[in-house]
Structures are given as C-alpha cells and as structure tokens.
Amino acid sequence: MPTVVVMDVSLSMTRPVSVEGSEEYQRKHLAAHGLTMLFEHMATNYKLEFTALVVFSSLWELMVPFTRDYNTLQVVLVTDGCLGIGRGSLRHSLATHNQRGESNRFPLPFPFPSKLYIMCMANLEELQSTDSLDCLERLIDLNNGEGQIFTIDGPLCLKNVQSMFGKLIDLAYTPFHAVLKCGHLTADVQVFPRPEPFVIDEEIDPIPKVINTDLEIVGFIDIADISSPPVLSRHLVLPIALNKEGDEVGTGITDDNEDENSANQIAGKIPNFCVLLHGSLKVEGMVAIVQLGPEWHGMLYSQADSKKKSNLMMSLFEPGPEPLPWLGKMVQLGPISDAKENPYGEDDNKSPFPLQPKNKRSYAQNVTVWIKPSGLQTDVQKILRNARKLPEKTQTFYKELNRLRKAALAFGFLDLLKGVADMLERECTLLPDTAHPDAAFQLTHAAQQLKLASTGTSEYAGYDHNITPLQTDFSGSSAERI
C-alpha cells in the first residue's frame, strides 16, 4: 500500500526537548529522525513502496507528490498532539462533525481503503493531560477503526523515537518473505506488497486468514481457461538471495553500496526457479495455480508493463473451496494423467474448462416472461407466424404453442389459452384456397387442445403434457411436396 506521510510543522513542534547531553533537540528533530529511520527501512526492505510527504500547520503543502492516485493508502501522521484552537482546529472540527453536509464533508473516513497511523511526538501522560488523545482516537474511529496511535514510551529522546518508529515498521512495513515451491524446485521470494490478512465472514469465520509462507504450486492452467478471474489483490513475486541468517543479501543498512552490487551480481548469475517459471509461463501463455493456505489459492503469471519489462506476479483469489465457478472446486482439480484420455486433446485443441453449471441461467434457456405486454405479444406472434406456414412449420408451431401453454398454466392465465384458441380458429377461416389441407386440420386440432387445457382440469392441463401434431395422412400430396 502506498504511504502518505503527513507531518505536523506547526509552531508547537519546535518546542525543545530536554535531553541529557549538550545538544538541544526540538520535537520536529525527533520526528525527522524517526521518519529517516522509516524511509531507510523502506529503501532497503520495502523498495517498491510509493511514498508522498505532506506538511501542515494551519495550511498544508504537498512536498513530495505521488505520481498518481491509488486504490488504497497508508497514512502516517506525525504530530505532537497539540491540536490548536479555534475554527479549523481538530478539536473544533470534531465538535462540529455532525453539522457537516455533503459539500464540506470531513476528510475521514477516506473514500478509499486506508490505514491511519498517528505518530505522536509526545508521551502518553502528556497527551492524556489534555483531550488530545481522545481527539486522535476519534480520528481512528472515524476511519472505521483502521489504524493505530503510537506514543513515545518514556522521556522524549532519539532512542525512544526510534523504538516507536520500530513498532510502526514491525506493524506495517515488514517485508513478506516466502518460499515458492513446485515439487522439488524452490526459490526464496519476497511478496510485494505484503498480502494483508483477509476475513471471509465475520460471523462464521471471524479470524483473519493469512497466507502461508510456503507458496506451493499445484498445477498449471491456460490463460484462456482461467480467463481474467476476479482477485483480491496482486503482488510482485521477487526472487531474493538469503544469507545464512535469513536476511536478504546486501540489504542491511550497514552494507555499503559496492558490497551490495557485487552480491547482487553473484545472485544474478545463480539460476533461480522464479526466472525459469516466469519465462515458461510467458512463452506458454499459462498461469500456475498456487496454494496459499487451507482452501485458499492464487495464481502466478507473467506480467509485462508498458515498457516491456516483465515480472512474476501473484494474484490472490478469494478464500474458499470454489473461488472461480468456471474451474469448479479447487480440490477436485487433478493431474491430466489421471484422466482416461487427455482432456486437452492429443493436438491440444480442446479444454476441460469452463465447467458448465447444472442449471442454465434464464437468458440461456428461453424463459417466458409476460410482465410487459410486448413479451406476450411476441410469443403470440411467433405462433401466428408459424401457423401461417403450416404444414412446413409444424414442428416449430407446436414447440411455440407448447411453450405458451406451459407458461399460461404455471401463471394460471387460462384466459390466454382461450384467446389463442379463438385466434387459431379465426386463422383457420382465413386460410387461402391454396393452403395445404393439413394446415386447417392442425389449426383446428391445436385450438381444440388449448381450449381443453384452459378448462384447467387435470387430464388436459398437465404441465408436462405436450400438444402433439395431429397425425394426418396426405400420402399423395406429401409425396408431391417432397
């Protein structure tokens, strides 16, 4: 998640801090020290994080902008907890919170998912002596409880500021390291941005799920078959070289640049499974299905940006036994070698996906809806059109007739059956002299059957009963027709 650092530069931040020793610090120096530590951590362990810096007192200024706006954000607010007085101060804003309308909405909650971390250049006692802490807590509450307040433990000094920022780093900026596995082929990776815990259903399953640090590939699927699935989030999967202590090589703050470069060069020349996997996924147009935890899966694929730089990417599906209806249940996916014959065909010209649902949706099964008169009229017209082309259209005529009959019976719309019967009888009288004699027979028969059904008596109004064409024998003329 990109980070916005919002730094309080109001006058109160220049209050001196009494530190044992000669140098005199102001609170803003402490803040700067803490932020330096945060930025250094990001530069080494969280390289791809986007950050922006905003400073504020009574006004605000964007010091370092993002290149653009993003979906989700982490906001780090650095302040001393002096909330100011009068109009526009936080205290006043919170007090008048209920009086705001749509036009001057309070900025919190942010209109995007966000976490608000408030770093106080003050200790708890100091904040509690005024109502500052309550006000800051209100802010977190207003942000739907997303975020946390950090205060300095003990006296204000560099060391304690460091430990406060250390807590923030542990909470929000620890890199996510994992092992990517495909059978015996493995690679150490960093997943960026860090996958956040996910709650499936607060009621049934209230415990947030976190992904495994073993990312196990279970098989492969063509991109066309997975077909742009919905995902919770996506992450870069970056291969890393770990030294014995489990730290990333060349990422310690103390390392100088040259060491880092040569370490990186060595790592670059050691074959890495991620690179192999990425290359083949890209060439074949496939994705690897990866298990993230119990009943939780994701996919790995090659992602290229506009500059043709490509990378191994992982997207997380929603946890659950069946995240994508068109693949079916994940546990039911097995190796093709277990199938009687290759479901992809010997020439790779077919696919077992997508799975067909048991019941068709309404738009795929020609349902009858007569809520608008036009729906009813269209269905009646279809019958009429076919009636005029009897006997050639005998099959379609009866198909449409039966469809209307079924719906009318289900809706208890027996008057319609009578009406259509009358209509067919009228059509019979309007038949031209050239008409085939069968037409008159079929129309009369159909009208009669509809009339019987419209009585609603069980022997004629069975839902599953179909009106079948009258068996006629015009052998002479039918031979002529052929």
Partner 1 sequence: MKIFSESHKTVFVVDHCPYMAESCRQHVEFDMLVKNRTQGIIPLAPISKSLWTCSVESSMEYCRIMYDIFPFKKLVNFIVSDSGAHVLNSWTQEDQNLQELMAALAAVGPPNPRADPECCSILHGLVAAVETLCKITEYQHEARTLLMENAERVGNRGRIICITNAKSDSHVRMLEDCVQETIHEHNKLAANSDHLMQIQKCELVLIHTYPVGEDSLVSDRTKKELSPVLTSEVHSVRAGRHLATKLNILVQQHFDLASTTITNIPMKEEQHANTSANYDVELLHHKDAHVDFLKSGDNHLSGSSREGSFKETITLKWCTPRTNNIVFSSISELHYCTGAYRISPVDVNSRPSSCLTNFLLNGRSVLLEQPRKSGSKVISHMLSSHGGEIFLHVLSSSRSILEDPPSISEGCGGRVTDYRITDFGEFMRENRLTPFLDPRYKIDGSLEIPLERAKDQLEKHTRYWPMIISQTTIFNMQAVVPLASVIVKESLTEEDVLNCQKTIYNLVDMERKNDPLPISTVGTRGKGPKRDEQYRIMWNELETLVRAHINNSEKHQRVLECLMACRSKPPEEEERKKRGRKREDKEDKSEKAVKDYEQEKSWQDSERLKGILERGKEELAEAEIIKDSPDSPEPPNKKPLVEMDETPPVEKSKGPVSLLSLWSNRINTANSRKHQEFAGRLNSVNNRAELYQHLKEENGMETTENGKASRQ
Q: Is 361 in the site for partner 1 (CB under 8 A)?
A: yes
Annotate 8-35 with b (16+ C-beta within 10 A) or e (fewer). Answer: bbbebbeeebebeeeeebbbbbbbebbb
First-to-last C-alpha distance (Å) of the chain? 74
- What gap in Å lies between CA 474 and CA 344, rounded to an integer? 51
Q: Is 67 in the site for partner 1 (CB under 8 A)?
A: yes
Stretch that binds partner 1, among 26-34, 132-140, 308-316, 434-442 (CB under 8 A): 308-316
Give the CB-side neighbour count of residue 382, counting CA atoms within 13 A.
17
Q: Pick from 16, 155, 208, 279: which binds partner 1 (CB under 8 A)?
A: 279
The residues, ordered by sequence, that sit 6+ positions from 304 with a Cβ below 8 Å of its Cβ are 282, 310, 311
Smaller CB distance to partner 1: residue 69 or 125? 69
- Binders of partner 1 among 459-478, rule CB under 8 A? 461-464
Q: How far is the CB of 175 from partner 1 (least distance, A)?
A: 14
Q: Pick from 39, 56, 176, 344: which binds partner 1 (CB under 8 A)?
A: 344
Q: Pick from 208, 325, 345, 437: which binds partner 1 (CB under 8 A)?
A: 325
Q: How far is the CB of 233 from partner 1 (least distance, A)?
A: 9
Smaller CB distance to partner 1: residue 85 or 270? 270
Smaller CB distance to partner 1: residue 54 or 218? 218
Site string for partner 1, 70-109 (x = CB under 8 A): xxx-------------------------------------
Site string for partner 1, 169-188 (x = CB under 8 A): -------------xxxx-x-
Q: Pick from 426, 437, 468, 477: which binds partner 1 (CB under 8 A)?
A: 426
Whether the CB-CB separation of 303 and 313 falls below 8 Å is answered with: yes
- What gap in Å lies between CA 374 and CA 183, rounded to an integer? 60
Smaller CB distance to partner 1: residue 32 or 461? 461
Q: Is 243 in the site for partner 1 (CB under 8 A)?
A: no
Give the Å distances, CA to CA, from 115 to 112, 196, 337, 347, 404. Answer: 10, 12, 47, 51, 58
Residue carrying the six token digits 């259509």: 420
Q: How far is the CB of 2 from partner 1 (least distance, A)?
A: 6
- Binders of partner 1 among 44-63, rule CB under 8 A? 48, 50
- Binders of partner 1 among 132-161, rule CB under 8 A? none
Nearest of 143, 142, 121 to residue 132 by alpha carbon? 121
How many residues does this entry show for the chain? 482
Smaller CB distance to partner 1: residue 60 or 112? 112
Residue carrying the six token digits 């620890």: 174
Whether the CB-CB separation of 421 and 447 falls below 8 Å is answered with: yes
